Structure 1
Amino acid sequence: MNWKVTVKDYALYLRLERGMSKNTIEAYLRDVTKFVEYVDLMDNSLTPQNVQRENIISFLMYLEQEVHLSTRSQARILSGLKSFYTYLNESDQTENNPVELIETPRLTQKLPDTLEVEEIDLLIDAIDHTTYEGRRNHAILEVLYGCGLRVSELINLSLEDLFLAEGFVKVVGKGDKERFVPIGEEAAMQMTLYIENDRCMKTPKKGSENIIFLNRRGAKLTRVMIFTIIKRLAEAVQLGKNISPHTFRHSFASHMVEGGADLRAVQEMLGHESITTTEIYTHLNKEYLQQVITEFHPRASL
């Protein structure tokens, strides 16, 4: 059986039997397609059934040395190929599994970039508060940093999700899981000012009637718009850091852990399914502590 037919059948398997979403299926297929393109380039006599372990190893070396893919990208592609060969084995299309004994490239943990409180203040001070967009953007930054939201969670916040008197907002996170996140006084105040003085002047577009953050035409903001807002502010103050909406989420978590917050509480507020994901912020905290001792201890630099 040739690659084209096999990959097509694999896509049907992912959709019908695994019930995967369109985006997830496309990601799996991209991984397999990269290997198919490599086979066409190097040895088009290879079929899905006669690929050997050595071919996979050569492919990974090609990705690293010729394509210059990161270790993380190599690991993801290898994971996709493992899924593909699991499907071939389970569907009795081959007994061969050339990826079974290949170890995943070791990932180096990249700690997320964070902002200092002073840098967040600098970004907010650069906002033009004389405009609708400026006052809205102030509320957006306060909520991103004050609640640690993902950008997708922010743009989908609705008026019905606000419980400001109780000090909480309801957030719908990954997998449509709901959680209640505390909101600080500053974020709650800026949210209230925006809603009562600015948003109320807009006529929401159909489908955005309850959405909190709207553009000047009354439509829901997109992820790209939030990225653009933050990028422009960073450029305006010459921040010197490549930041995104997620940087505010990282900063929220890092500052909470630095301040002594319980890790389980931070996990709950971030909506992490596993405590392991949240534990990365303990590493950030250790870096901070190391920096403190290096800077202030009289014998640290001997």
Structure 2
Amino acid sequence: MVKSFRQQLKKEELSDNTITAYLYAVEDFGKKYSSFNRKNLLLYKAEQIEQFKPKTVNLRIQALNKYLVFIGKPRLRLKSLKIQQRTYLENVISNADYQYLKAKLKSEGEEVWYFLIRFLGATGARVSELVQFKAEHIRAGYLDLYTKGGKVRRIFIPRELCLEARGWLLRSGLESGHLFLDKHGRPIRPRAIRHKLQRFARQWGINAKVMHPHSFRHRYAKNFLEVFNDIALLADLMGHESIETTRIYLRRTASEQQAIVDKVITW
């Protein structure tokens, strides 16, 4: 049944990460409970609430609800948790730390990782998209991705980054193929990127909470709006289906809010 569910998710053109997360939730439930009934589903939900953050719990609930529809039991669907929205952005690398990290990578001769960070911060790519960049895309100046519904999302590579990356390609003798490879010559995995970022955080005293791939996507969005305040264009560039998702970047980080409060409130 799970195999058929996987095929259905692929037909719906869900991302590989989403499919993996959905299948994990269904298989995890199956290991703990023998059947899908109201009692077992509520027990599983309670167990998840005790162990994980609301966002993770809701992902598992979403997965189970989709599976319940698939097996013809839609009436058993679970309610998602209400998540209180914060009035500030969390865990976004500061511009100062972003510049510091790039400078350290360059001075330490970590050229591959320097460009990996540059591509994250200057294109707004998700980590799953980042690993798809090839030398050919640098020459073209963009990467086209095909999304749900046959739509095409274009990730632009800024001219300055293209010029700098072309020099890197010449030095490394890379004429074609993926830019970011592991030691076996295969496209590097997102998990390996996350682990390396944590190592850099420890090595150079950067807050580990902001050293994750998505943090640089946040940085891209924040920097873009500070220079060119067009949220509709930013939504398109980031591949958001709804502009409401993009509005979060109009908020300031907690540290930015603190700095403003310290400066403004003198009474």
Q: What TM-score, normalized by structure 1, do the two folds share?
A: 0.70
Q: 1:109 and 1:13, CA in 2 relative to 1: closer, same or farther beyond 3 A? A: same
In structure 2, how many angstroms separate the alpha carbons of the residues matched to 1:228 and 1:29?
Answer: 24
Alignment of structure 1 residues 6-155 onto 2, 5 Å: 8=1, 11-12=3-4, 15=7, 19=11, 27-39=21-33, 47-48=35-36, 51-52=37-38, 55-65=40-50, 68-89=51-72, 97-99=75-77, 102-109=78-85, 111-127=89-105, 129=107, 131=109, 134-155=110-131
| Paired residue secondary structure (1:114) | coil
Runs of at least 5 residues in structure 2 that lack an aligned partner in the other structure: none
Identical counterparts, % of pairs? 19
Q: 1:117 and 1:80, CA in 2 relative to 1: closer, same or farther beyond 3 A? A: closer
Partner of 1:44: none
Task: Verify the 8 A CA contact 1:146 1:184 in the aligned structure 2.
Answer: no
Q: Which structure's relative contact order is higher, taking Cα pairs within 8 Å and 6+ residues apart? A: 2
Cα drift, residue 271 of structure 1: 2.1
Task: Verify the 8 A CA contact 1:142 1:190 in the aligned structure 2.
Answer: no
Q: 154, 178, 181: which one pairs with 1:179?
A: 154
Runs of at least 5 residues in structure 1 that lack an aligned partner in the other structure: 1-7, 41-46
Aligned Cα root-mean-square deviation (Å):
3.5
User: What amino acid is aligned across from residue 199 of structure 2 in structure 1?
Assistant: R
Cα drift, residue 145 of structure 1: 1.1
Cα drift, residue 127 of structure 1: 2.2
Partner of 2:205: 238
In structure 2, how many angstroms separate the alpha carbons of the residues matched to 1:83 and 1:120?
Answer: 39
Name the structure with the higher helix share. Answer: 2
Q: What TM-score, normalized by structure 2, do the two folds share?
A: 0.77
Larger C-alpha radius of gyration, 1 or 2? 1
| Paired residue secondary structure (2:76) | coil
Q: 248, 253, 256: which one pairs with 2:224?
A: 256
Task: Verify the 8 A CA contact 1:170 1:179 in the aligned structure 2.
Answer: yes
Cα drift, residue 253 of structure 1: 0.7
Matched positions, count: 260
Task: Verify the 8 A CA contact 2:138 2:166 in the aligned structure 1.
Answer: no
Q: 1:267 and 1:33, CA in 2 relative to 1: closer, same or farther beyond 3 A? A: same
User: What amino acid is aligned across from residue 140 of structure 1 in structure 2?
Assistant: L
Cα drift, residue 37 of structure 1: 4.3
**Any idea what the Cα deviations from partners look like across 1:189-223, whole Å, max 9, x if unmatched?**
43122122x222x5x8xxxx433345677654443
Q: 282, 285, 292: which one pairs with 2:250?
A: 282
